[in-house]
Amino acid sequence: MSVRSRRGARDTGAVDGTTGKERSGGDAGVLGTALGVVLAFSLAQGSWQWFSTYLGVTLLAVVFSFGRVPERTSGRPAAYGWSLAAYSMVIGLCVALALAPALQRWDWLFPMPQTRQTCVDSGRYQSLQTEAALGDLAGRDADALAHAQQKQSQEAVDDCLAATTTRWLPAYALGTALLVGAASWWWGGRARTRRAAPEAA
């Protein structure tokens, strides 16, 4: 083997090693983000608060900064498919976590008129229960009773809406994952075609 050939082999190995390290770092970043999302979902209790939006956006920033979109490689279609699925599903989870408070509160983003009316009825029922339990306050402090009724009613409505939102979050996460996966597949095909064009020429 000539000196130039050995040098080329060493250069190729260095490049491959760097790429492997970058890919491993990207995979680790995606895995860490997935664990963070799962932990955030497991710790979420009651009504979805806007802090979950902050968490979702932060985790998305971690994925885009340290993760890498899987690249198509010849001869390993299964590995590429699994990598793309994992990457897309992690982004879907992050988006669902970020959207949860908005889905709970905004009718135009998550229209569910029947469910929202049911939650309002649950809040009204909770208000009546509070009045029955604290009825002796009416003669002494009507304002305190009204405040307690309003607070308990709002909590009941929020918990009802949060439970419904949580049940529908997988649909939003899966939809986002499908969009990200399809876009990444299309963009990866275009990039591979562009790289192959100069070689063919």
| pLDDT band, very low/low/confident/very high, at 178 (cuts 50, 70, 90) | very high
| pLDDT band, very low/low/confident/very high, at 2 (cuts 50, 70, 90) | very low
* pLDDT one-digit tens code per residue, 52-99: 888 889 888 888 887 777 777 666 777 788 888 888 988 998 899 899
- What is this structure's pTM? 0.69
- 103 burial via Cβ count (<10 Å: 0-12, 13-18, 19+): buried
Per-domain residue ranges of the chain? 3-112+169-200
Q: DSSP letter for 134, please.
A: T
| pLDDT band, very low/low/confident/very high, at 177 (cuts 50, 70, 90) | very high
Q: Are 79 and 27 in contact (CB under 8 A)?
A: no
Calculate mean pLDDT across residues 96-110: 86
Report CA 26 to chain centroid distance, whole Å: 18
Q: DSSP letter for 76, please.
A: -
- 57 burial via Cβ count (<10 Å: 0-12, 13-18, 19+): middle
Give the phi and the psi of residue 50 in degrees, each rounded to 5.
-70, -15
Q: Judge whether residue 105 has pLDDT over 90.
A: no
Pairwise CA distance, residues 149 & 131, whole Å = 7
